[in-house]
C-alpha cells in the first residue's frame, strides 16, 4: 500500500521519516520552514550521540526537586525563565505527575528497544552510504567528578545491566586509561559500549542526498500556515505558495508541532528545551570516545578533528537567542573536568542553539492520531532526536504502509494527552 505522504518538518526526524517512507514506495514531499543552507537548530547543533544508555526519561524521580534547586542559577544545567504562560504551567504539572518510579519502570524498556533498533539502522546506513556521516561505535564514558555522582551513576548502570545492556563501572585510573591523552579531574565513571556518535551536519547532508535519490521532493522556505480538513481526514496544508494535498500527513515540526496540532484541534503538549553547543575547530585535546560530564549535564563529542561540547536545558519558550550565562555555565563545567579546555581555548568556539521539543513524560510522540485517519506525529524527542530519528522514521513508514510496527509504540501515542477537544483555529 503506497500513497502520497506530506512530511511537515525537514529536520533529522522529518528526513528520517521521508527516507523510510520513500523506501516503502510512497511518494513523499517534505515542507520545511527553514532554508536549505541552514546549519543551526537541533538537527545540526546537537552532540551527535547515539545513546542506548539514555533509557531513563526526562520525567523521573527527583527531576522536579533538582530543577527547583537549579532554576534560579542562570549558569546551572537546568533553568526556567519565569513567564506567564498557561502552557508552561500545564506542562510543568504534567511533568511533575509523570516523574515517578513507575514511569521509569514503564518507559525504560521502551526507550531501550527504540535506541537499540535505531543504532542498528545507523549501522545499516553507514554500510550503505559509505560512512558518509562518520559513525563511531566506541562507546560513551559517563564521567563523574565526585564520589556522590559516581554512586548515583553506578545505580543507573545497575539498572542498565538489569535491562540487559552492558555497563562497566570504572575507577579514576580506569577512566584515565581509556583516555590516555587527556588529563581529567574525575572520581570515576561508567562505560557504555553500545553508545556511539556521528557528525550531525554530515548526517543531514547524507539524508538530503539519499531522500532526493529516492525521489523525495524537499521544499524549503515553505511554512505551513494552516490546514484543510473535512470530517476525520486532512486534505491539505496551506502555505504561502498555495495548498499542498496528500493522502497522509506527518507532523515532524519539532517544538512548532504543538501550535500546528492546535490548529487542527489535537494536543501535543511540549516545551522548548533550549540547548547550546560550542564547536572548536582546533582543540588542544581530542577524546577517543564521546563523554557525558554527569554532574554538569554536558556532552563532549569528537567530530573528526573538531570537538563539540553541548548541554543545558533552558525552558524559555520559542526563543533561539543566545544567553551568555548559559555559555558561561558550560565553559566552567568543561574546564572543571578537562583542565586543558580552558575558557580561553573555548573562546574561539562557534556557538549555536537548538530548541529541543520536550514532552511532559519524556517520551516522544510517534503514531497516528485518533481524530484524523490520515494524520500522524513524529516529534517530542527532547535530547534524543538524533539517537531515535532512524527508528522513528521506520516506525512511521510501517504504520503508513499498514504494517505491524517493529517496536512497541503504544506508550508513544500522540493522543495520550488528548483530554477535551481543542478548539480549532478559524
In contact, 266 and 417? CB cutoff 8 Å: no
The pLDDT value recorded for residue 312 is: 83
The pLDDT value recorded for residue 75 is: 76
The percentage of residues in the chain with a pLDDT greater than 70, rounded to a whole number, is 95
Cell of 58: 526526562
Kindly tell me if the per-residue pLDDT of 301 is higher than 90. yes
Q: For all residues of the chain together, what is the average pLDDT? A: 92
Kindly tell me if the per-residue pLDDT of 421 is higher than 50. no
**Per-residue pLDDT averaged across 187-215, rounded?**
97
Angstrom distance (rounded) from CA 108 to CA 110: 5
> What is the value of pTM for the model shown?
0.94
Kindly tell me if the per-residue pLDDT of 45 is higher than 80. yes
Kindly tell me if the per-residue pLDDT of 225 is higher than 50. yes
Higher pLDDT, 123 or 56: 123
Give phi and psi for 190, each to the nearest 5.
-125, 135
**251-274 per-position pLDDT tens digit:** 999 999 999 999 999 999 999 999
The pLDDT value recorded for residue 73 is: 73
The pLDDT value recorded for residue 216 is: 97
Banded pLDDT at 245 (limits 50, 70, 90): very high
Banded pLDDT at 41 (limits 50, 70, 90): confident
**82-108 per-position pLDDT tens digit:** 778 888 889 989 988 988 999 989 999
Cell of 383: 535530547
Banded pLDDT at 422 (limits 50, 70, 90): very low
The pLDDT value recorded for residue 314 is: 86
The pLDDT value recorded for residue 115 is: 97
Kindly tell me if the per-residue pLDDT of 72 is higher than 80. no
Kindly tell me if the per-residue pLDDT of 423 is higher than 70. no
Banded pLDDT at 116 (limits 50, 70, 90): very high
**118-173 per-position pLDDT tens digit:** 999 999 999 999 999 999 999 999 999 999 999 999 999 999 999 999 999 999 99
Angstrom distance (rounded) from CA 253 to CA 29: 14
The pLDDT value recorded for residue 68 is: 62
The β-bridge relationship of strands 27-31 and 217-219 is parallel
**Per-residue pLDDT averaged across 7-16, rounded?**
97
Kindly tell me if the per-residue pLDDT of 425 is higher than 50. no
**371-414 per-position pLDDT tens digit:** 999 999 999 999 999 999 999 999 999 999 999 999 999 999 99
**172-199 per-position pLDDT tens digit:** 999 999 999 899 999 999 999 999 999 9
Kindly tell me if the per-residue pLDDT of 64 is higher than 70. no
**329-376 per-position pLDDT tens digit:** 999 999 999 999 999 989 899 999 999 999 999 999 999 999 999 999
Q: Which long-range contacts (CB under 8 A, 24 or more apart) does 208-216 make?
A: 208/15, 209/132, 210/19, 210/129, 211/15, 211/18, 211/19, 211/22, 211/28, 211/30, 214/19, 214/22, 214/23, 214/28, 215/22, 215/27, 215/28, 216/18, 216/19, 216/22, 216/28, 216/29, 216/30
CATH superfamily of 4-412: FAD/NAD(P)-binding domain (3.50.50.60)
Kindly tell me if the per-residue pLDDT of 1 is higher than 70. no
Angstrom distance (rounded) from CA 34 to CA 29: 15
How far apart, in Å, are the Cα atoms of 220 and each of 35, 147, 258?
A: 5, 49, 20
Amino acid at each position: 500500500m503506497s500513497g502520497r505522504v506530506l512530511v511537515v518538518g525537514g529536520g533529522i526526524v522529518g528526513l528520517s521519516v521521508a527516507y523510510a517512507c520513500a523506501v516503502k514506495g510512497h511518494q513523499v514531499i517534505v515542507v520545511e520552514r527553514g532554508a536549505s543552507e541552514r546549519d543551526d537548530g537541533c538537527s545540526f547543533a546537537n552532540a551527535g550521540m547515539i545513546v542506548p544508555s539514555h533509557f531513563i526519561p526526562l520525567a523521573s524521580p527527583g527531576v522536579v526537586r533538582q530543577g527547583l534547586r537549579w532554576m534560579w542559577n542562570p549558569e546551572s544545567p537546568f533553568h526556567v525563565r519565569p513567564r506567564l504562560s498557561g502552557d508552561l504551567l500545564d506542562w510543568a504539572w504534567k511533568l511533575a505527575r509523570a516523574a515517578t518510579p513507575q514511569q521509569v519502570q514503564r518507559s525504560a524498556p521502551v526507550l531501550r528497544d527504540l535506541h537499540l533498533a535505531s543504532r542498528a539502522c545507523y549501522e545499516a546506513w553507514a554500510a550503505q552510504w559509505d560512512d558518509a556521516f562518520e559513525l563511531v561505535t566506541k562507546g560513551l564514558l559517563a564521567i563523574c567528578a565526585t564520589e556522590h555522582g559516581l554512586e548515583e551513576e553506578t545505580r543507573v548502570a545497575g539498572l542498565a545491566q538489569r535491562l540487559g545492556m552492558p555497563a562497566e563501572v570504572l575507577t579514576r585510573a580506569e577512566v584515565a586509561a581509556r583516555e590516555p591523552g587527556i588529563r581529567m579531574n574525575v572520581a570515576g565513571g561508567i562505560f557504555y559500549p553500545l553508545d556511539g556518535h556521528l557528525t550531525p551536519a554530515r548526517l543531514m547532508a547524507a539524508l538530503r542526498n539519499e531522500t532526493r535519490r529516492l525521489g523525495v521532493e524537499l521544499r524549503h522556505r515553505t511554512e505551513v500556515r494552516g490546514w484543510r480538513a473535512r470530517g476525520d481526514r486532512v486534505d491539505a496544508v496551506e502555505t504561502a505558495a498555495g495548498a499542498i494535498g496528500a493522502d497522509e500527513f506527518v507532523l515532524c515540526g519539532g517544538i512548532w508541532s504543538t501550535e500546528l496540532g492546535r490548529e487542527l484541534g489535537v494536543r501535543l503538549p511540549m516545551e522548548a528545551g533550549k540547548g547550546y553547543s560550542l564547536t572548536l575547530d582546533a582543540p588542544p585535546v581530542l577524546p577517543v570516545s564521546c563523554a557525558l560530564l554527569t554532574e554538569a549535564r554536558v556532552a563532549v563529542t569528537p567530530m573528526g578533528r573538531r570537538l563539540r561540547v553541548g548541554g543545558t536545558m533552558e525552558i524559555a519558550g520559542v526563543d533561539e537567542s543566545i544567553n551568555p550565562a548559559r555559555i558561561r555555565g558550560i565553559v566552567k563545567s568543561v574546564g572543571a573536568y578537562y583542565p586543558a579546555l580552558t575558557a580561553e581555548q573555548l573562546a574561539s568556539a562557534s556557538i549555536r542553539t537548538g530548541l529541543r521539543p520536550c514532552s511532559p513524560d519524556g517520551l516522544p510522540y510517534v503514531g497516528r492520531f485518533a481524530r484524523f485517519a490520515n494524520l500522524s506525529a513524529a516529534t517530542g524527542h527532547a535530547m534524543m532526536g538524533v539517537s531515535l530519528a532512524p527508528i522513528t522514521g521506520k516506525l512511521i513508514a510501517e504504520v503508513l504502509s499498514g504494517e505491524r510496527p517493529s517496536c512497541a509504540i503504544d506508550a508513544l501515542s500522540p493522543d495520550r494527552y488528548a483530554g477535551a477537544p481543542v478548539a480549532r483555529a478559524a
